[in-house]
Structure 1
Amino acid sequence: MLLCRVVGNAVATCAHPSLKGFTMLLCQKEDEQGVPADEPPFVAIDLFGAGMHQRVFVSTDGIGARGIVNDDHSPIRNYVQGALDD
């Protein structure tokens, strides 16, 4: 599980059918003090309605993510597992 901050929304004009109806967020990994990691943001599906700049926990469990979208062949790997109250 990663501590991240929501830095944007991901929009796809053509996406895998398993992702239909899911909100996709751009998440930036950061440390406990809120310092961003020196790596690019990544996409995660949102299950909690997280807002822009909100801190979230992101699971990188691909099997769990594919279970959420109910498709063993989905390309999704990351999902927001919880939101932090600052």
Structure 2
Amino acid sequence: MTVEDTLIKFYGERAEYSGGQLYKIGNKRVQYLSGKLYKIGEERVEYTGDKLYKVGGRRVEYSGNKISRIGGIRVD
């Protein structure tokens, strides 16, 4: 599952694409910076290296190499 797929599942809303790239999740606009997700609505997306680290201040937890929870909410 990609980072985008995981975040769509986390927010639980319909995804919209433009030009093959994720554009909106529900009513939240998705912004990219240097090819990586940067913001979803007003919530900042943070990385450590190539791994997702925080979404809107909520820590991302991994099980192996897969994202398992975001801020305590199970997403796998």
TM band (smaller chain): under 0.3
Give TM-score scaled by structure 1 length: 0.25
Is the strand fraction higher in 1 or 2?
2
Give TM-score scaled by structure 2 length: 0.26
Higher relative CO (Cα under 8 Å, sequence separation at least 6) belongs to 1
